[in-house]
Structure formats: structure tokens, C-alpha cells
Amino acid sequence: MSQSLKLIKEHASNPKLWLVIGIGVAGIVVLVETRRRTRRGKTHKQDFGAFVERFELLPFPQPPPPAAKQSLSALTFAINDTFDVKDYVTGFGNSTWKSTHKAAEKTAVVVTALLMSGATCVGKTVVDEFSFGISGENKYYGTPTHPQMPSCKLGGSSCGSAVAVAAGLVDFAVGTDTTGCVRIPASFCGIFGFRPSHGAVSTIGVLPNAQSLDTIGWFARDPSILHRVGHVLLQLNSVETKRSRHFIFADDLFQLSKIPTQNTIYVIGKAIENMSGYQAPKHLNLCQYIDSRVPSLRLHQQSTHQQNETSILKTLSSVMLSLQGYEFKTNHEEWVKSLKYKLGCGVSDHVIAAINTTYDNIKALYKVRTEMRGAFQSLLKDDGILVIPTVAGSQLKLNTKKGFSSEFHDRTFALSSIASVSGCCQVTIPLGYHDDCSLSVSFISFHGADKFLLDTILDIYSTLQEQVSVGSYSLPLPNINGNRETSELLKEKGNAAFKERQWSKALSYYSEAIKLNGTNTTYYCNRAAAHLKLGCFQQAAEDCGKAILLDKKNVKAYLRRGTARESLLCYEEALEDFKHALVLEPQNKDASLAEKRLRKLMS
């Protein structure tokens, strides 16, 4: 018997001995855990936490001459954790799913196509659980780190693929886009993201979330690579179709954005001026257009008691999320109910709601989808490109609950629902940074116009970069010709026009009055009312802000700014305005009803 064992046997009843042994064991455990975490930290630092699994799938051999060189030769790519790879278990972003499923017997069609074109796959990337989130956070595999802004969220669900590209770990990456899962992280990471027309790229070998919305999208830092990958996945020929292009700016959607979008519109407009074959851009109130062309959505809007123009997009996103929930339930209800386990933060509610909801109006939801596709075919025809903001605000900080607020979801889904429900193709285009936030814009073209859209990006992007680099982000405000009439008379003319429902005319009179007297609260407040009638909610909020600076007891200004902010889906700020109005006038019925409505909405 060894000396150590003899000592233990002789002093086994001594509590001090066991205390020493316990401390020693604890020290070893702490040391091992520290080393494990250090190694883990180094791994995440090396790949920004983008990957869940590293491996190498080599490309197919280059065919002998005279065959053309493989179009993606020497490029590397990653796939997210929803794509099948033979002999690997597809994890769906959830460890319980992974432990209850077998390894794939075949590789996804998309992955095989990329390998046949000469690219090398280097691993699988993090995805939100079941492709169901938009935060980019994963309870099981960690949250990837934003390469430029480590304290910010990435957006999801294809967050790992976006990070792998943004960090330069791969040349391009593939992900799934159901409700914005490629477009949102592409915007936040400052890279290109392409959502193809629904059904244009094969989903065989990819775990489904919601089939009528699911698409296979891809990320790249360079428009040329984005273009080349598109030609492989979409099986396009390389012959360029000469076609004119006309751009349509969705002016009302740019009001949803908290980023200086006036400047973005200016930059794109200047780029279009310098391009041959590009027609002068047009401007459109897209919410009004959708409202007039999608009658099924109007009926759905009435059933949900929505009341303003912007709410048509909230209704559209509600349709999108209901379709997603119904199809997710159809696909995975049996598995979810067969197991008891904890889902990640922000995902559990979505999954439970999807499984427990009864979808009585599913036929009406699919009808909205059909009408949306027809409406956008009529709007864009064969040469139209709709310009919208990709996201409505800047990146959210990590470790904050704000990312799961109703306002964040509503503003995000309102924009992403347009292409998701209509089935149109959409590309996210990076435009640099402003105040440490990435700037992007999105182009949307009709269903089936993927090649046209990819060709457009390749054609215009260098000109866009030139316009951004010349410092176009400080623009002169529009100027209105002077008027010698007194400001008070102009205000009265504006009021008369307002009563006649001539909103634009009233707006002009109020603006002239403000030019002559910029310190009158009523002028700004009246102009805000005209802006509200015209659906110019951002301008209405700004006018009310100026009125409040001049008179902090102006109840109408608080009410109108609250209405404008609610229309812009800024619920928290709107609620504060209505609360201010109630403090000033406790019996104000409009303020009281608005406050109750918003509290219910936010809950």
C-alpha cells in the first residue's frame, strides 16, 4: 500500500484531512474548467463564433478541356446548420434536435451544385433555433461576434453565415431566408445578402421552417461573387439581356427608418443619373398601393382593427408570421410534442405559439400571398426595381431585452414581409457606415427576375460607391419660394385648405408661414396635421418636436407626435407622448384611449 493511502487510512476520521482533499479536488476542477474556457475563447476569437462544425468538402474535379473552367474555382464557402451533408447530423440550431436525429444520407442539392462548380465547403455555421429567430443568439452554440461591432447583435437567423463572410473567413456563405433571415444579418454586418424568388433555388436536403416562405439565400462581400454564386444556384446562362431599368422609391417605407434615409435616396438617385439605360426614378406610397391591390389583406386588416396606412404592413407581417406558424406546426408538431426540453431565449414563445395556435383562416392567408405576387408583377412589370430600406433601425446591443420588444419585431418584419409574402427577389446592398452603424438599402424585383436583379447590382454598385465616397451624406433641404403675405394670413389659408381636404395645399401654406415666422408653435403643429393626412409620419413627428420645444404645454403637439410615432411603429416613444398629454389634460379622451391601446399592444 502506498504511503498516501496509508495516511488516508490512519486519519480517515479526521475532518481536516477531508477538507484538504476537498480543496485539492476543487482546485483541479477549477483549473480544468479554466483551461477549457480559455481554449473555447480562443476558438471563438479565431472564427468569431460563426461555426458549429468545421470540416472540408472538396470540389468536384475540374473537367478536362475544352470544358470551361469551373465558375467558383478556388472559392471557399460555409453553410448554415439546416443543410444536409452526408454522414453529418443536421442540427437545426438545437442540440436536442441533433441528438434525436440520424446523420444525413445525402448532401443537399445546393451544396452539391456549389461543389460541382469548384467551391470548397469548410463547415456549418450557427443558426437561430429552428431558423425561428431574428436576434442571431443561440442558447446552445453561443452568439457569433460581430466582426466590426462586437457589442452589437447580428440579426438572424442565418447569423453565423453572415459573420463568416463579414469576417473574411470564407468567400461566400449560404443560409435560409424565411422572414428576413439573410437580409437582416446582411444589413447589420455590412455585406451583400440575396433572397431569390421563392422556389427559384432547390430546397431539397434543407430542413424546412415554412415551405411557402422558405428560400435559399447567400452572402458575399463582393458583388461579383454574389453574381457568380447566383448563376450557379439559379442555373442561369451568362448571356446579358439588354434591358432598361426604372427605379421606384417607396417613400413611406423610408419614413420607418431611423437612419438618415433622405441621404440614401439622394445617393441612389445620383447614381441612376450616371447610368445609361436607367430611367428617372419614380416615387410611390407603397402602403397605399398594397392597400388598393390586395383586397384580401384589407379584409384581414379590418378583422385586426388596424387604423392607419402603415398598419397595412403590420397586417402583412402578421399574415407572414401566421403562415410561418401554420407550416412550422405542420412540419414539426409531432416532434416538438414528443419531447420535453427548454428552448433558447426568444425562441420558445414562437415555437409554443406556432404549435398551440388553431389556424382557421389559412385559405385567406394563402390568398393574400397570391394577390401580393400579382400586385408586384403589375407594379414592377419586366424592368422595375423597388427601393426600400432593409431594416428600420441600427443594430441592437447584446444582452438587452429590447431586441425582443414588440416595436423591434414589428418594424423589422414590416419591411421583410414584402418580399417574403410576394415571393419577389430582394438584395441587401451595403452603403458603408454612419455613426458607427452599417447602412444598407434593398432592391426588390418581380418574381423570376433574379438574373435581372443580380445584373443590376453588378452594373450599378461601383457608381453607388462613388456617390457615397464624395460625401453625399450632407444634403441641402428643399427650399420653397418666398411669399410676401403675412404669416398669419398664410396660416388661415392653410386652415381653409385643410378643411377642404386639400392636404398638400395646406402644407404649402403652413410652410410659407413658418418661413416668415419660425417661432410660432401653431404653424408647426398645423403642418404636422397636414403631414399626418399625407402619410408623412416622420415629418409630422419632427414638426411636433419643434412645436414642443417652443411650447412644452402644447397638448395637440404631443397627441400628433404620438400618432405619428405609433404609425412609425415606435411604440415606446408614442406611449411617452400620450402620457405627457394626459399629464397636461387628465380628462383627454383621445390620449387616454391611445395610451390603453398602446399598453395592450406592447404587452
Short-list 574, 572, 569, CA closest to 558: 574
Distance CA 494, CA 478 (A): 20
Predicted local confidence at residue 282, as pLDDT: 95
The pLDDT confidence band at residue 30, using thresholds 50, 70 and 90, is very low
Predicted local confidence at residue 42, as pLDDT: 43
| Residue 288 grid coordinates | 397605399
- Find the range with the poorest average confidence among 85-94, 131-140, 530-539: 131-140
CB 74 within 8 A of CB 114: no
Distance CA 49, CA 43 (A): 7
446 or 339, greater pLDDT: 446
- 601 burial level (CB within 10 Å; 0-12, 13-18, 19+): middle
The pLDDT confidence band at residue 7, using thresholds 50, 70 and 90, is low
Can the peptide bond before residue 157 be classed as cis, meaning omega within 30 degrees of 0?
yes
| Residue 144 grid coordinates | 457569433
Predicted local confidence at residue 395, as pLDDT: 72
Distance CA 248, CA 443 (A): 9
247 has a pLDDT exceeding 90: yes
User: What's the mean pLDDT in 329-355?
Assistant: 79
- 50 burial level (CB within 10 Å; 0-12, 13-18, 19+): buried
CB 49 within 8 A of CB 42: no
- Residues 345-362 have pLDDT tens digits of 556 777 888 988 888 889
The pLDDT confidence band at residue 408, using thresholds 50, 70 and 90, is confident
Short-list 404, 442, 405, 380, CA closest to 253: 442
Residue 20 CB neighbour total at 10 angstroms: 11
- Residues 253-264 have pLDDT tens digits of 988 876 666 778
| % pLDDT > 70, the chain | 84
- Find the range with the poorest average confidence among 353-362, 405-414, 445-454: 405-414
Residue 178 CB neighbour total at 10 angstroms: 27
8 has a pLDDT exceeding 60: no
- Residues 175-207 have pLDDT tens digits of 999 999 999 999 999 999 999 999 999 999 999
144 has a pLDDT exceeding 90: yes
Q: Per-domain residue ranges for the chain? A: 8-41, 51-284+385-398+410-471, 514-602
CB 215 within 8 A of CB 425: no
Predicted local confidence at residue 469, as pLDDT: 77
4 has a pLDDT exceeding 70: no
Predicted local confidence at residue 466, as pLDDT: 87
Q: Say if strands 76-80 and 120-125 run parallel, antiparallel, or are unpaired.
A: parallel
User: What's the mean pLDDT in 564-572?
Assistant: 91
Predicted local confidence at residue 483, as pLDDT: 39
350 or 51, greater pLDDT: 51
Alpha helices in 381-479, H assignment, sequence order:
406-422, 450-469
- Residues 521-545 have pLDDT tens digits of 999 999 999 999 998 899 999 999 9
User: What's the mean pLDDT in 104-119?
Assistant: 98
The pLDDT confidence band at residue 49, using thresholds 50, 70 and 90, is very high
Predicted local confidence at residue 476, as pLDDT: 38
For helices 487-499 and 503-516, angle between their N-to-C axes, nearest 10 degrees: 170
Q: What is the secondary structure of 142-208 as a DSSP string? A: -PPPPSS-TTB---SSSHHHHHHHHTTSSSEEEEEESSSTTHHHHHHHTSEEEEPPTTSS--TTB--
CB 351 within 8 A of CB 321: no
325 has a pLDDT exceeding 50: yes
- Find the range with the poorest average confidence among 38-52, 408-422, 526-540: 38-52
Short-list 290, 276, 197, 208, CA closest to 243: 276
Distance CA 320, CA 297 (A): 11
10 has a pLDDT exceeding 70: no
How far CA 393 is from CA of 199, 230, 317, 378, 569, in Å, comes to 30, 28, 17, 30, 11
Residue 157: φ, ψ to 5°:
-95, -15
298 or 304, greater pLDDT: 298
- Residues 453-486 have pLDDT tens digits of 999 999 999 999 888 877 544 433 333 333 335 7
- Find the range with the poorest average confidence among 114-123, 463-472, 506-515: 463-472
**Class of domain 51-284+385-398+410-471 as given by CATH:** alpha beta
Looking at every residue in the chain, the average pLDDT score rounds to 86
| Residue 364 grid coordinates | 385567406
Residue 138: φ, ψ to 5°:
-135, 125
The pLDDT confidence band at residue 437, using thresholds 50, 70 and 90, is confident
| Residue 532 grid coordinates | 399626418
CB 316 within 8 A of CB 291: no
Which pTM was predicted? 0.80
- Find the range with the poorest average confidence among 331-335, 517-521, 556-560: 517-521
How far CA 108 is from CA of 60, 63, 114, 160, 521, in Å, comes to 15, 22, 10, 19, 63
CB 377 within 8 A of CB 423: no
Architecture of domain 514-602: Alpha Horseshoe (1.25)
CB 283 within 8 A of CB 249: yes
User: What's the mean pLDDT in 319-326?
Assistant: 95
552 or 9, greater pLDDT: 552
Can the peptide bond before residue 430 be classed as cis, meaning omega within 30 degrees of 0?
no
H or E element in which residue 327 lies: helix 311-338
575 or 396, greater pLDDT: 575
148 has a pLDDT exceeding 50: yes
